[in-house]
Structure 1
Amino acid sequence: MLPAAHRVTDAASFREATRRGRRASSRTMVLHLVAADSAADETGRAAPARIGFVVSKAVGGSVVRNRVQRRLRHLVSARLSSIPVGSVLVIRALPASAASSWARLGRDLDSCLTTVAGQRGAPA
């Protein structure tokens, strides 16, 4: 489970990440990353990376969607240190994620994270 400080809960953050963020995709998912302009929150502490998930009905029924989201959430929680501080990451599951193994989802997530993190310095 992701701590509450690491969750994206507002629609504006989802919208900003999907429209403005760096994008990387694989067979099972699409990642959108918006790097923080400032890595500190209003109290002066480093703002944590925030992650949101989009798992549509195209992935499957509610049981399948919830399973995919739980798997992705678990995989991301193990990789929080590799996500830039203060950034917003949105992970959109594709229909192929429903039938994919943990190992496949992990490889795809690592590959996409490497791609979007490497693009951070590139112009938008």
Structure 2
Amino acid sequence: MLAARYRMTRSTEFAATVKHGVRAAQPDIVVHVRRDDADAEGPRVGLVIAKSVGTAVQRHQVARRLRHVAKSLIPDLDPRDRVVIRALPGSSAAASTRLEQQLRKGVRRSHDIMAGTR
């Protein structure tokens, strides 16, 4: 489970990350990454699971898997990073390992773009 201090809870944080962050699309998820200017206690991760993903049970399962996958990514993130993971309809059928690979690839790609290496 993703610790509470790493969870994004405010809609303003979600909106700023999606609007001003770097977007990296993957087959089953879209990753938005923004580096906050202010000093932060740690990275924050938020999830967006739309109804197009499936029933409430399927959406809850996807959210649980994505939180678990995001937990393994926390040590690799900068404390100022804000990450929003938007699940696409295919995420309900994707394995957790596939979701983790896509998340890592999306974050890496976003960091490359922010650093100007791409």
Q: Which residue of 2 aligns with 1:114?
A: 108
2:93 partner amino acid: A
2:114 aligns to what SS in structure 1?
A: coil
Q: Report Cα offsets for 1:78-122 as digits up to 9, x if no partner.
A: 110112212211000000001111121111111111101112223
Q: Which residue of 1 aligns with 2:79?
A: 85
Work out the CA distance in 1 between the residues paired with 2:111 and 2:77: 8
2:80 aligns to what SS in structure 1?
A: coil
The number of equivalent residue pairs is 116
2:113 partner amino acid: Q
Q: Which residue of 2 aligns with 1:28?
A: 28
Q: Which residue of 2 aligns with 1:56?
A: 50
Unaligned stretches of 5+ in structure 1?
A: 42-46
Worse-superposed segment, 93-102 or 81-90: 81-90
Unaligned stretches of 5+ in structure 2?
A: none
Q: Which residue of 1 aligns with 2:88?
A: 94
Work out the CA distance in 2 between the residues paired with 1:30 and 1:96: 11
Q: Which has the larger radius of gyration?
A: 1
Work out the CA distance in 1 between the residues paired with 2:11 and 2:69: 23
Work out the CA distance in 2 between the residues paired with 1:33 and 1:27: 17
Q: Which residue of 1 aligns with 2:10?
A: 10
1:32 aligns to what SS in structure 2?
A: strand
Q: How well do the aligned residues superpose, as a CA RMSD in angstroms?
A: 1.1
Q: Report Cα offsets for 1:42-94 as digits up to 9, x if no partner.
A: xxxxx200000000100001100000010010011011011221221100000
What's the TM-score once normalised by structure 2's chain length? 0.93
